[in-house]
Amino acid sequence: MEVAHTHGRTFVAATGEAHAAPADAVRVRRMPLTAGGELAEAALAGVAEEEETATGLRAGPLRVARAYAEEPKALVLGSEGYGPTLGDASGGALSAPAGAGPSSHVIGPPLQAAAAGGPRELATMCDALRDAAEHAGTARGIRFLSGGEASFESYAALLVSARQMLSALKSRLGLERGDAVALQIADARTHLRAFWGCVLGGITPVTVAVPNQYSAENATVRKLLGAIDVLDAKHVLASASGVGPLAALLSGDVRVHDATALLDSSAPADAGAEHDAEVSPDDVIFYQLTSGSTGTPKCIPERHAAVISHIRHSVAHCGYTAADVTLNWLPFDHVVPMLTFHLCDVYLQRAAVQLPTAEVISDPLLWPRAMAEHGVTHSWAPNFGFKLVVQAARATGSKQLPFDLSRVSRLMNAGEQVTAEVCDAFASVCGIAPSVLQPAFGMAECCTCMTYNNAYDSARSNVRVLKRR
């Protein structure tokens, strides 16, 4: 129910589930609001009398959905710089205005330096890939699953392929440090090779979703054209099938290249470190396009220092380790697959599994099946992905899927509105504890996820909000 206390009386509005209401409460169907969304106190008594007479609202179950009381004190956001440790961060909490409540900027325990037992510290993500290639060797890397077949690329092999790509980018296309390149590559393995080829050379990639058709009216195509224009990109690396249609849409000074053919044109002998650029922590590693949910998509520069700061803080907060096994099935134009998972995988030298998005959409149970078969500990999806599994599981007629997900530690639900009903239903059909579910929220402007619920419990973690049109 909604509750309002005014003029010595208590008013409640019935909205659904049963809960006891005060015995002396005056019941109404709705709370009258002003144009600004505030409680219209003067009109409340009249509404109560009118609706009570017409509908007999003094009976019936109620649910607390919103309490009208004095305005809460303002919350004040803070700012934090990027540094090797929290102690080196610049800035801090912003000054609160007079009369404001406590700052909403919560730092928590200091992030310890690596020498003091904190997460490992590297200067750039280029260092992270080179370190993974040297120390993880051929043992750790990415397992690509597609069409029932599996193939593996170690971090050492990824470094070799990335340097071959970089050699081709420089020698054949004439790209230099600081140039921007748009990526339109459907195949995950080829995409990562191209991405790292750019990053190692100080060339900045921007990944845009591959549209279902290349037409000037397509919203994703418009997003791609906008990114190319904003970044003044002169080159696009694409899947073979997209080269022709893309070239027909782009202006003459923007060239489109088949990424696979470009890589094949570079000999293994070109995979040396001599092409690696001198990259600094403040350099941009990639550009991330926002979803555009609040207007025109923005192009966010993600810097090495910020990415590494995010990874190290996430390690401290979420307990990530090199022993984890991750699984992603969402495309790399989204910041979570690229930053929260892949870049963190490389930095921590974790084993990773990659599934094609289209195959999971077609067969949602492929996701939990693959997690069970490959001993996955961490995975993620937006809420719709969890819902697809629930619907597919119920269609089998079984109450619980036959997959052993006992190794799964965290399943992040992020990227869109998280609903308790879907989280709880997923936990039930998969036979896992609800606490495995990890609702999270983030923004590309802040690298990626910045709030995590590591103790999800539908009975305690949820707040019901009454929506009004």
**Which amino acid, residue 75?**
L
Burial 38-55 (b: 16+ CB within 10 A, else e): ebeeeebbebbeebeeee
pLDDT at 339 over 50: yes
- Least confident residue range of 174-178, 383-387, 461-465: 461-465
What are the structural domain ranges in the chain? 2-68, 120-321+331-349, 363-469
Q: Could you tell me if 89 and 82 are in contact, meaning their C-beta atoms sit under 8 angstroms apart?
A: yes
| Mean pLDDT value across residues 91-120 | 60
pLDDT at 85: 37
* Residue from 391, 380, 386 nearest 414 by CA: 380
Would you tell me the crossing angle of helices 188-200 and 155-171 to the nearest 10 degrees? 60
- Least confident residue range of 91-95, 181-185, 232-236: 91-95
pLDDT at 451: 87
pLDDT at 86 over 60: no
| Mean pLDDT value across residues 393-414 | 96
- Residues 308 and 317: their CA atoms lie apart, in Å, by 14
More confident of the two residues 290 and 28: 290
More confident of the two residues 430 and 64: 430
More confident of the two residues 10 and 88: 10
Q: What is the pLDDT of residues 419-430, one digit of tens each?
A: 999 999 999 999
| Mean pLDDT value across residues 385-406 | 96
Q: What is the pLDDT of residues 37-57, one digit of tens each?
A: 566 766 766 655 554 443 333
Q: Residue 377 half-sphere exposure, CB side, CA atoms within 13 Å?
A: 13
Burial 385-413 (b: 16+ CB within 10 A, else e): bbbbbbebbeeeeeeebebebeebbbbbb
* Average pLDDT, rounded, for the chain: 83
Name residue 440's beta-bridge partners. 452
- Residues 245 and 243: their CA atoms lie apart, in Å, by 6
| Mean pLDDT value across residues 91-112 | 50
Give the H/E segment covering residue 311.
helix 304-318
User: The domain 363-469: what is its CATH number?
Assistant: 3.40.50.980
Q: How far is CA 374 from CA 210, 327, 332, 347, 418, in A?
A: 28, 9, 21, 21, 26
- Residues 99 and 129: their CA atoms lie apart, in Å, by 49
* Residue from 155, 422, 438 nearest 314 by CA: 438
**Which amino acid, residue 388?**
L
- Residues 366 and 5: their CA atoms lie apart, in Å, by 53
H-only helix segments in 201-239: 219-231
User: The domain 120-321+331-349: what is its CATH number?
Assistant: 3.40.50.12780
pLDDT at 74: 43
pLDDT at 54: 38
- CA angle 73/310/122 to nearest 5° reads 145
Q: Sign of torsion, CA 264 265 268 270? A: negative
pLDDT at 249 over 70: yes
* Residue from 443, 204, 448, 268 nearest 342 by CA: 448
Do 120-321+331-349 and 363-469 fold alike per CATH? yes
Full DSSP string of 159-188: HHHHHHHHHHHHHTT---TT-EEEEE--SH
**Which amino acid, residue 37?**
G
pLDDT at 90 over 80: no
Helix (H, G, I), strand (E, B), or coil: what is residue 144? strand
- CA angle 182/357/190 to nearest 5° reads 45
Q: Could you tell me if 111 and 85 are in contact, meaning their C-beta atoms sit under 8 angstroms apart?
A: yes
pLDDT at 36: 52
- Residues 62 and 1: their CA atoms lie apart, in Å, by 5
pLDDT at 296: 65
